Amino acid sequence: MEESGVRQQLYSMLKDYGYWPLRGRDATACPKCHTQILPPIGRPDIIVLAPHGIGRVVEVKAVNMLKDKSFSFSSITPEQRRWLSTYAMDGGLGYLAIGAINVRPMRLWVIDWEYWCGIEVEVIQYQMSIPVTLDGKFKREIVDNHLSLELVAKSYELHRVKTTWRLPKGHSLGEDIVVMR
């Protein structure tokens, strides 16, 4: 599985919750001249229309646990950061979704953007990435301060129920939804 698989699973969950998620194409062709048209740089992976509440945007990332044990902050581009921050400042809700892939069980976090920025400030004083778990060898400061994704974002981790994901109770993404299933 890759980032696109994480995006698809999150898209399906959002539909199950009654949202109207929109995935933009990476590129499309002009119907007249057939030249490639790229989307705006940094546009979030999923734009979530909420028929009964505030819209949301979600940037989706993946950590391949076969190669990487940490999520690198540099994998979020400056343009993606600008989109998420601007959307949140204008009254919308922005989220960073991180899927730990190629590990069983797969894990998925959907983290409020403002909370995520606080995580980065805390971790960046020691290194430019956050471990998914503290299993393995990491800097002493990271271990001593319990700075792993599974610990600092525990309340944002989704739970797998059969073939779909469910939000944890009290998650801000689920404040105004009606579950369809």
User: How is residue 164 written in tokens?
Assistant: 């779909």
Name the DSSP letter for residue 156: G
In degrees, rounded to 5, the angle at the alpha carbon of residue 159 between the alpha carbons of residues 154 and 163 is 160
Alpha helices in the chain (DSSP H): 3-16, 78-89, 113-123, 140-144, 149-152
Q: Which residue reads 């809700």 in tokens?
A: 93
Residue 25 is predicted with a pLDDT of: 67
Task: For the chain, 181 residues long, give each residue's pLDDT as a single digit of tens.
Answer: 799 999 999 999 999 988 999 987 667 788 889 888 877 778 899 999 887 778 899 999 999 999 999 999 999 999 999 999 998 888 889 999 999 999 999 999 999 999 999 999 999 999 999 999 998 888 999 999 999 999 999 999 999 998 899 999 989 888 765 554 4
Residue 181 is predicted with a pLDDT of: 45
Alpha helices in 31-172 (DSSP H): 78-89, 113-123, 140-144, 149-152
Cβ atoms of residues 159 and 165 within 8 Å: yes
**Domain range 3-165, CATH architecture:** 3-Layer(aba) Sandwich (3.40)
User: How is residue 50 written in tokens?
Assistant: 């909420």
Q: Which residue reads 């790229």 in tokens?
A: 38
- Residues contacting 150, CB < 8 A, separation 6+: 107, 132, 133, 134, 157
